[in-house]
Amino acid sequence: MIRQWPAPAKLNLFLYITGRRIDGYHLLQTLIQFIDYGDSITIIPTNNSQIRLLNQIPGVVEENNLVLRAAHLLQSYCFKAGKDVLGADISIKKRLPIGSGLGGGSSDAATTLIALNAQWECQLNIDTLAQLGLTLGADIPVFIYGQAAIAEGIGEALTPTLPAEKWYLVTIPQVQIATSIIFNHPNLQRNTPKRSITQLLAAPFYNACEPIIIKNFPVVEQHLLWLLKYAPSRLTGTGACVFAEFDTELAARRIFSIAPKWMHGFVTRGLNLSPLHHMLLSGRP
């Protein structure tokens, strides 16, 4: 039985905001691709109904931890469906910074749902898991399905696609940016015309959140300006991480090798199949 599960990061290769619903949720068009870098979650099923997180995540109170919320949600759903209710001891090896735009919390929740569904033998299909995930966060379903996709609506309407699997130099400005701060900013552009998928993929990629973030978080602008000297570079999600794209690993590592000492980050490969789903298909941890 697999006990250690990957929770990969994602990049938003483009991000546009096309409107805002009455309930405050923003309508998006964004291209999401996975990368071969992320958190790792270890889960050991138990014969009691307790769900324990064995290590705390700094800066995240337990009641807001998406891993615990996902585990309790699945447990409650299975109990109501008449399935045996088990417990689990869970630990998280956290690599993805909070407020980075890399989707760490959402990916952790998605991996937890998929892993516990397998380990508890709940036998829920992937659509049901995605529906459960959506109640926790709009970008959790894309991690559950595990395919690079254009996400629309509030992020839940997914169209699988196959963008080029580039190499990326991802840098990590030393700042956390809450999505709510950006989405509530009065100057955020919320009226980008909605385009067809063909039009989106043919146009230059852009992140509509970028102007707000570089104006309010100078350290992000500092990273972005340095990267732009060497390669096409953008913000991911609502930040804070930025990424530069390269055709080869060698090119990405060459630029990383000359990065200033104040710049921290990593080189990674874009993947259209999530590392979690690659593991499931291969049957190997």
36 an active-site residue?
no
Determine whether the annotation assigns residue 40 to a binding site: no
Residue 63, burial from CB neighbour count under 10 angstroms (0-12, 13-18, 19+): exposed
139 an active-site residue?
yes
Spatial distance between the Cα atoms of 152 and 155, rounded to a whole number of angstroms:
5
Spatial distance between the Cα atoms of 60 and 93, rounded to a whole number of angstroms:
14
The torsion angles phi and psi of 265, rounded to 5 degrees, stand at 175, -155
Determine whether the annotation assigns residue 104 to a binding site: yes
Determine whether the annotation assigns residue 211 to a binding site: no
Q: Tell me how far the alpha carbon of residue 233 is from its chain's centroid.
A: 18
Spatial distance between the Cα atoms of 285 and 111, rounded to a whole number of angstroms:
13
Three-class DSSP category at 92: strand
Determine whether the annotation assigns residue 196 to a binding site: no
Catalytic residue from among 94, 108, 139, 166: 139
Cβ within 8 Å of residue 144, ≥6 positions away = 110, 113, 114, 126, 129, 130, 133
Determine whether the annotation assigns residue 98 to a binding site: yes
Determine whether the annotation assigns residue 274 to a binding site: no
Determine whether the annotation assigns residue 137 to a binding site: no
For 61, 117, 202, the CA distances from 69, given in Å and listed in that order, are 12, 14, 39
Determine whether the annotation assigns residue 105 to a binding site: yes
Determine whether the annotation assigns residue 99 to a binding site: yes
Catalytic residue from among 10, 39, 94, 108: 10
Q: Which residues are annotated as a binding site for ATP?
A: 97-107
Give catalytic residue positions.
10, 139
Q: Which residues are annotated as a binding site?
A: 97-107
